[in-house]
Amino acid sequence: MFKRILIANRGEIALRVIRTAREMGIECVTVFSDFDRQALHTRMGHVAVPLDGNLPAETYLVGEKVLAAAKATGAEAIHPGYGFLSENAGFARSVTEAGLAWIGPPPAAIEVMGDKIESRRAMLAAEVPLVPGMTDPCETPEAARAAAEEIGLPVALKAAAGGGGKGIRIVRDLGEVESAFRTASGEAQSAFGDGRLYVERYIDNPRHVEIQVLFDQHGNGIHLGERECSIQRRHQKLLEECPAVVLTDELRARMGEVALRASHAVGYQGVGTVEFLFSKDEFFFLEMNTRLQVEHPITELVTGIDLVREQLLAAAGEPLELSQSDVVMNGHSIEVRINAEDVPAGFLPATGTVQNLRLPGGPWVRVDSCMYDGLEVGLNYDPMLAKIIVWGPDRGTAIARMRRALEELNIGGVRTSATAALAVLAEKRFMDGDYDTHFLESLDLSSPLGNEEDLVAALAAVHRYHRSRQRAISVNGDDRAGWLHRSRESMSDHRRRAGRHGDAQ
């Protein structure tokens, strides 16, 4: 096993890796920009190396600087976290060529799965079900229009080299193809340096279900069940849960087998996620994320398996200790991403200084966060400030626990997406498991705090929902008889705090 690794990332994911590494007796080197000089990941590493600069393009995205820091500090391996260089095959190759271990899949697997067209070709050869569409890029709006006519409307124009919801446009009328092509291609060029697009059938009202996979360097692989990630805005996830409401054991086994087949097709190693669109008991390969996912904690809480530990063991060449029969899904877990975003303004990025921070706690509540009082939130980095993760023996308990955790949370000075998550959790359709990737768009989030009478009615609906299942709603460890009354009081307190700090959430 490694004695020292470098973490080529920042924020909560850097802290997440540090914690498991420390438990395994591994020292961690962290890197930091000028902006992150006082950040928690900078302070928690055994050694911290400045990258000299503020912007990501000057610091965390400069592979040469990161690699030089690893060599100078005697690191034996590099963990890329997610984002930044995590899916950069060129950087992964430079790490291995320098004699260091790459805590991730082989560069060739990153290359194939990072290119949506190449991945579609590979999956077609492996007989993995695909959304009907192109296996070649379209070079012009005219070619895109011809493809749309052949495939049938609606279609999605998608960036060949991208992900994260960038470079995607939905077309429902052939007259929209040209403008959609130019917009999506320009966005893809700006985001990924590659403006190529391909066209595929757009599936209305799908669910987004992904399978977690784990492989060693000896050809052994297992899957760790699924996560549902359908609560999204602009194709970016806000709330995830495990397991998915819609999957039977038989469907889970089928999707798991397909995910393993897809991974074997590219010689995968380490931790990865195969993402599917799910509709009416059919599922189609969407893409593979060749890294640790933001939402990995819900899989950890349901399976009891530390995914960062498994990454480190795989990268060190250790054989897989687990078999498929060892994977048991126990209970239900939900994760909410807390982003610095102005929800009523359409989830635009928000800035400010974190004040009066209060993070939730209590039984089966996990918080992965980089926040502290006085943290300056700017626009140079990803807006995610924290992840709130809960576990319960069943889905109803997990929903109630997440509501309680979010009601405990206070982040003064910066608007966040927590209000949108609370609105989702209060919806009967969500509680019934009746939702898809367009669910968030159906909610009225135009008011920062919503209409109080509507919120109280929603809280009452939650109360009735759990009472109907003979489960008491418990907040802060006691069964509150005056729950609705106190919820109204807490909303009044929320308004008073908002008046002092601009927005308490």
Q: Which amino acid is at 247?
A: L
Q: Is 261 marked active-site?
A: no
Q: Are 293 and 138 in contact (CB under 8 A)?
A: no
Q: Are 422 and 336 in contact (CB under 8 A)?
A: no
Please list, in sequence order, all residues whose beta carbon lies within 8 angstroms of the beta carbon of residue 423, skipping any fewer than 6 positions away.
Answer: 443, 445, 450, 458
From 137, 139, 79, select the one nearest 103 (Cα to Cα): 79
Q: Are 264 and 122 in contact (CB under 8 A)?
A: no
Report the b/e string of 169-203 with b at 16+ CB within 10 A.
bebeeeebbeebbeebbebbbebbebbbbbbbbbb
Q: Are 13 and 295 in contact (CB under 8 A)?
A: no
Residue spans of alpha helices (H) in 266-362: 296-303, 307-315
From 330, 300, 358, select the one nearest 19 (Cα to Cα): 300
- Catalytic residue from among 252, 291, 366, 403: 291
Residue spans of alpha helices (H) in 152-176: none
Give one DSSP letter per residue of 392-452, joined into a string.
Answer: ESSHHHHHHHHHHHHHH-EEETS--THHHHHHHHH-HHHHTT---TTTGGGS---SSS--H
Q: State the first-to-last Cα distance of the chain, in angstroms, to the nearest integer.
A: 42
Q: CA-CA distance, 170 to 184, in Å (whole number)?
A: 10
Q: Which two tokens stand for residue 313?
A: 């063991």
From 77, 3, 5, 69, select the one nearest 33 (Cα to Cα): 69
3-state SS assignment for residue 38: coil
Return the DSSP state at 189. H
Q: CA-CA distance, 505 to 493, in Å (whole number)?
A: 12
Which residues are designated catalytic? 291
